Structure formats: C-alpha cells, structure tokens
Amino acid sequence: MTNQNNVIKFYSGEQIPVELHKVRMVQKLFLKPIEERKAAMEEAGFNTFLLSTKDVFLDMLTDSGTNAMSDNQISSMLQADDAYAGSQSFYRMEKALREVFGKHYVLPAHQGRAAENIVSQAFIKKGEVIPMNYHFTTTKEHMELNGGKVLEIYADDALQIKSDKPFKGNIDIDKLKDVFSTYGKEKVAFVRMEASTNLIGGQPFSMQNMRDVKKICEENETMMVLDASLIGENAWFIKQREEEFKNAEIKDILLEMCSYADLVYFSSRKVSSTRGGGIVTNSKDLYMKMRDLLVLYEGFLTYGGMSVREIEAMAVGLNETCDETVISQSPSFIAYAVNELDAAGVPVITPPGALGCHIDAMGFLPHVPQTDYPAGALATALFIISGIRGMERGTISSVRDENGDDIPADVELLRLAFPRRVFTLSQTKFVIDRVKWLYENRELVGGLEWVEEPPLLRFFMGRLKAKGDWPEKLMAKFKEDFGESL
Ligand code: F0G
C-alpha cells in the first residue's frame, strides 16, 4: 500500500511525498501567540466552524472549496460566457461530465447538498429506507426530511480504528440482501454508495464491491446512487489496493465506477476543486423527474446556482481529477501524517484514507466521556496549542433522539483535512509535531458542554464552553515547553 507515485526516496533512505507542482500564487498566513488563539477559541464558542480565518494558521477544517486550483483552471475562468440560458460555459462542463463520468444528462446545482435535496425530493417517499455504506451529515438530513430512513450496512469491522483492511468503505453484501428480504424491494428507495466514505475516515470501497452491489440492485430492480464527491481519491485507492486495477488508468476506473450507478451526484467543491455540484444520469426518465425541481431550487438548467466562472473551472478540474499526480497528492500527504503519528502511538484511523488524517478522540482522550464530546474537545485543544483548525466528526456532529438524548457517534474523530496541493511538507511536519505534543500532554485536556444548541445540524452554529479551566492549564504547559515560540 506504499506504492505511491509521488513518494520519492532520499539518499538517506527516508521516503517523503514530494510536491509535483510549484507555487505560483500565495496567501499570507499568520501564526498568532497562544493567548490570542485561546481568546479566539473562546469567542468562537469552542466550535472551530465559528473561528475567523484571521486567527487560523493551518486551515484543515475541510477540503470543501479549499483545494488549490491549477493555472489552467484559473485561466479558463476568463473565457466564461455570462448568460442565464444556453451559456457556452455550461456546454463545456457538460462535455467534461459526459467524458469523465460517462453520463449524458447533466443537472448543475450550487453544491453537493443541493443535489441531495433534489435527489431526496424526487426519489424518497415517506416510510422508505435507503441502505448505504455510511451516511454523510447533510445527506441524512435531506433523506429524513423527505420521510426516508438511512440504513448503514458497512462490514462489522469497518469502524475499527486500527486496521489493515484496504476497503473499509465497502457495503456488506449479506446485510444488503437482508435489507431487501426484510423490507421488500418496494420499500427500498435506492441504494447509496459514497466514494471515500467521509465520516468513517475517508475509507474507499472496492470496484468488486460496486459490482456485487450493482448485481443485487439489478435483481431487485432498485436504483443505485453514487455520491461521487470524493470519487477521484477512491479511484486512486482502487488502483493502489485492488490487484486487478494496478495498471489501469484513473479515467477508466472512474468510468467503470460510474457505469454501475444509475445516478451520480457530487459536490464539485471537492471533486473538481471548484465551488458547485451536480447530478448526472443516462436515464431520461430519471432526468425528467429531477429537471423541474432543479429549476425551482437551483436556477436555470445551464447554471444551476453556480457562477459561470466556476463552471468553466469545473470542466477543467474534472479532467484534472483523472491526472494521477493531482489525485494522489492529498492521499500521499495524509499517508505520511498518519504513518508518522501511528508510529508515535497516536491513535489514528488506518489504513490512511482520503480527505484527511483522522484522529480517534476516544483513544486519544480516554478520560473524557463521550457525553463531554472528546472529538470537539480535541479540536479546540489542538487549535489553542497550534493554530491548526480541524473539524469535529463525532457526537457533536450527530443528533439527539426523540427523548432529547445525544445519540453517541459510532466513531469520535478529529479530522485534519488535507485539501489538494495546499500544504507543504514542513507544514505537515508542524501538524505532526503539535499533535504528538498534545498526545504527550493529553491528560490536561477536558470536556465541553453546550451553551447554545441549534436543533438542526447543530455542529455548524452551536456554541459550547470548556468544562473547568483546562484551556488555561494547557496554555501554561505549552508556554513551559515552548517558551516564547509560537
Ligand atoms: N457528500 C459528501 C460525501 C460530502 O463529503 C459532502 C460535503 C457533501 C455530500 C455535501 O456537499 O458541501 O458541497 O454541499 N462535505 C464537506 C466536508 C462539507 O467538509 O466534508 P456540499
């Protein structure tokens, strides 16, 4: 699993992921003193979403809309054709989607969750179930708003933190068969597969798994829907980890993956390093069921809520997703960070996946009960001691049940995203160093409690506070060890 094409070997024997791009435009960063970082975190209600980037050193919140764009993408924006209807920019994007995803009908949307809204409204009826490898936050909300129920049918060991299983994002085929026999095919709205399964550590599924899922869908005359937001990285893992594809081209892997799906939707904030989204299919019937909703919610069919400049860049970005040096950059830096942290005994999800390095907060902070939100606490502690902004992917990102009790997340993670071609190796080394320091000082970190808790998607806007004075103690220890150094 280490055969990564941008990993080079030094004369000393050390292996590092080398940047196969050069920097041609930069943004200045600020690393503020720890007192200012702590004050910023308090002001943000111990929620990294509420920080201002002026206080952030390395923004590892997400790769969504933050991947670096290429020179070709930026230059394509200048030829954008501003038109409400019939824009040439749209036709260029449509052509790219037809070529890269192999689907004829294209519905543009302003971002991934907008596509989820359309798909959920068009294809989910009250009381129906939607089996999938794992949910994504916005996906689940849209499905439930339309009366559907999400069934997660991953393999029993998919949530195991330390593992050498190459495809923890697979759907468990026996569980899928059970869903059809328990509910009957009429009650299954569709089967959803999410590429590089986000919430369980960016873990891919295999092509064989897609084939097996497709076969069962066909036997049950049920539609298969693919969330392709992180499809490029999943394709790259298939090439790395599935023997049959070791010599295949990424573009052929992508085409085969999409061929099994009746409908593909995506956030192009991720897949093509732009800002937007969309839905594609080869079925005119499916297209017609979504078309008018799209015009109602997103905009006319040739822009779907996106700027034409982004549409141009999306066309270029989609083609670049087929370039191995582009698509392997983030996973190889993630693998570097994960391997270093794992070797230092820090609990991280293995094998390394897509999107980010995922730290197991329950393993990191075993003394913080899940009711005190260890992943949220870890995200805030890391920001205070380093200016690195990660994202809580644990119980704060979950919901409450009908009695108002927290539903504890299956995994309690701090995600440190590696947007494509954004961070250098020295910045990556800084991340590794500060996470290791925090691990050595983990007993100083305590839990969080709510101050303001919104009822819907509470992790975005909710405000919390530290239980006790642990941030002060953590800051004091940092100053003891690092002196005046930032
Ligand atoms: N599906 C997946 C698998 C995603 O990861 C996301 C977004 C969406 C759908 C929704 O797309 O943001 O364009 O509306 N993930 C982001 C993240 C927010 O940080 O992981 P969107």
Give the number of the atom of ligand 1 that is nearest the alpha carbon of residue 114: 14
Query: Residue 104 and residue 102: Cα distance in Å, rounded?
Result: 7
How far is the centre of ligand 1, averaged over its atoms, from the C-alpha of 105 (Å)? 22
| CA–CA dist 291, 482 (Å, integer) | 58
Residues 164 and 295 in one domain: yes
Judgement on whether residues 391 and 410 belong to the same structural domain of the protein: yes
Q: What is the pLDDT of residue 456?
A: 87
Say yes or no: 207 and 306 in one domain. Answer: yes
Element (H, E) at 265: strand 263-267
Alpha carbons 346 and 338: distance in angstroms, whole number: 9
- 456 and 396 within one domain: yes
Both 226 and 141 in a single domain?
A: yes
Residue nearest to atom 16 of ligand 1 (CA): 64
Pocket test for ligand 1, best of 233, 269, 273, 414 (most atoms within 8 A of CB): 269
Instruction: For 403-425, give the secondary structure using H, E and C.
Output: CCCECCCCCCEEEEECCCCCCCH
Whole-number Å distance, alpha carbon 154 to ligand 1 midpoint, is 20
Mean pLDDT per 10-residue section of the chain, whose length is 486 residues:
72 94 94 97 98 98 97 97 97 98 98 98 98 96 97 97 98 98 98 97 98 98 98 98 98 98 98 98 98 97 97 98 95 98 98 98 98 98 98 94 93 97 97 98 98 93 97 98 88
CA of 21 to the centre of ligand 1 (A): 26
Is residue 373 within 8 A of residue 462, CB to CB? The reply is no
Q: Is residue 202 part of a domain?
A: yes
Residue 423 within any structural domain of the chain:
yes
Residue 16 covered by a domain: no
pTM, rounded to two decimals: 0.96
Does one domain contain both 135 and 284? yes
CA–centroid distance, 251 to ligand 1, in Å, is 22
My answer on whether 81 and 44 are in the same domain is: no
Residues 255 and 342 in one domain: no
Q: What is the pLDDT of residue 4?
A: 57
Residue 1 lies in a domain: no
Pocket test for ligand 1, best of 119, 270, 310 (most atoms within 8 A of CB): 270
Is residue 422 in some structural domain? yes
Residue type, 80: A
Domain ranges, residue 436: 34-63+326-482
CA 115 to ligand 1: nearest atom: 14
The predicted structure's pLDDT at residue 231: 98
In the chain, how many domains are there?
A: 2
Specify if 475 maps to a domain. yes
Atom of ligand 1 nearest to the CA of 61: 19
Residue ending a domain, choose from 284, 304, 322: 322
Asked whether residue 360 falls in the same domain as residue 425, the answer is yes
Backbone angles phi, psi at 191, to 5 degrees: -105, 135
By the 8 A CB rule, do 269 and 64 touch?
yes
d(CA 193, CA 353): 16
CATH number of the domain that 119 lies in?
3.40.640.10
Cβ(368)–Cβ(374) below 8 Å: yes
Q: Ligand 1: distance of its center to the CA of 266 in Å?
A: 8
Q: Answer yes or no: is 157 within a domain.
A: yes
| 140 shares a domain with 97 | yes
262/333 same-domain check: no
Q: Measured in whole angstroms, how far is the alpha carbon of residue 234 from the centre of its chain?
A: 12
> Same domain, yes or no, for 204 and 96?
yes
Residue 24 resides in a domain: no
Q: Which residues contact 264 (CB under 8 A, 6 or more apart)?
A: 101, 103, 225, 226, 228, 258, 279, 280, 281
Among 291, 322, 353, give the residue marking a domain's end. 322
User: Best of 110, 118, 136, 279 to mutate for ligand 1, by most ligand atoms within 8 A of CB?
Assistant: 136
Provide the pLDDT for residue 310.
98
Max Cα-Cα span within the chain: 66
Q: Which residues does 270 contact at the CB level (< 8 Å), separation at least 6?
A: 63, 64, 67, 112, 229, 230
For residue 277, give the amino acid letter: G
Q: What's the 354 CA to ligand 1 centre distance in angstroms?
A: 13
Question: Which sequence positions are flagged as catalytic?
Answer: 84, 136-137, 227, 270, 393, 459
CATH number at residue 416: 3.90.1150.10
d(CA 472, CA 475): 5
Residue 486: its pLDDT value, please? 85
Q: Give CA–CA dist 399/276, Å, rounded.
A: 27
Please give all residues whose beta carbon lies within 6 A of any atom in ligand 1, as ranges.
Answer: 62, 64, 111-113, 136, 138-139, 194, 198, 227, 229, 267, 269, 277
Domain end marker among 293, 322, 351: 322
CB 239 within 8 A of CB 207: no
